[in-house]
Amino acid sequence: MLNKQNNDAKQPRPEQGEAALFRRYYQYLRLERGFSENTLDAYRKDLQKLLSYYADEGIGFRSVTLEQLQTFVATLMDLGITPRSIARILAGVRSFYKYLVLEGELDNDPTELLESPSRGSHLPDVLTVGEIDLLINTIDMTKAEGQRDRAILETLYSCGLRVSELCHLKMSDLFLHEGFIRVHGKGKKERLVPISPRAVAELQDWFYDRARIAIKPGAEDDVFLSIRRGTPLSRITVFHIVKELCRAAGIRTTVSPHTFRHSFATHLLEGGANLRAIQEMLGHEGIATTEIYLNIDRHHLREEILNHHPRNIKA
């Protein structure tokens, strides 16, 4: 269900509402733009992807900002959507917002400066270990959220998590004395992932700050919380944290939370880790590798991570 709250943009005409607005938009595409039924259906489905995403995030489509749209694009990339498909989705999104401006429903088009990903960019850039250290060291530890953000980056990099997996991580999923965390991946499938001693230390320091937060009912088991609201951290907030740190650190490449996941896998592979172990740690369960996973025991997986991840290799 779409979020109808909007303090910054114009409200829809009360007698017509949002359903009527979408009907008028699709009529515009059919009659004035001359779209075929197939093209119209594609635009409708692509726009629904955006609307569903922001409904989940509690954001009304009328109040969407350029930054939030960029986060949407980064999320599509995180899901493995190809640049060609993302460009097609964004074509429908741009068309919708241009229509809203044309009809006087919005004053400004938030998609005006939105760029599509390069067709040749299928994976995010990989950060070096030095760049990851730079980002972490850029965190302002005088701020209340400083230690939390350090724990977030170390956990992303140490465990190769998806941003959704990080945000859904529970205190009851942590087995820090044993050096593992339990991750709830796609399709509600669970996996155990080794965690580096450095990430463990950052988490334990964060728990001192976390204990002083007024946690909202229902969020007591969530690892990462909003300092001010005491609610579970959202994906958009994590994207924003990474973006602001990159800006402060002077890193100009395209970086998202998924970049830490890709860096995790790349650094392990470059360090000599077994590719099958990396696939298991990332939670990839393709048909070609399912049988392989049955022959990999947890002790071997832990040894692969401890022996080859940069956070575990001793000087």
Positions marked catalytic: 162, 186, 258, 261, 284, 293
Instruction: Report CA 49 to chain centroid distance, whole Å.
Output: 15
Distance CA 154, CA 160 (A): 10
> Cα–Cα distances in Å, from 51 out to 37, 48, 89, 94, 145?
21, 5, 12, 13, 30
Is the Cβ–Cβ distance between 241 and 152 less than 8 Å?
yes
Instruction: Report CA 248 to chain centroid distance, whole Å.
Output: 20
Beta pairing partners, 212: none
Strand 174-175, strand 190-194: pairing: unpaired
Phi/psi zone of residue 179: left (φ > 0), alpha (ψ -120 to 50 degrees), beta? left
- What is the Cβ-side half-sphere exposure of residue 44, based on CA atoms within 13 angstroms? 16
Q: What are phi and psi of 246, to 5 degrees?
A: -65, -40
Would you give the end-to-end CA distance of the chain in angstroms?
53
Tokens (6 digits) for 87? 């460009």
Q: Which of 115, 49, 17 is nearest to 57 (CA)?
A: 49
Q: Which of 294, 282, 286 is nearest to 194 (CA)?
A: 282
Q: In what order do the strands lie in the sheet with 180-184?
A: 174-175, 180-184, 190-194
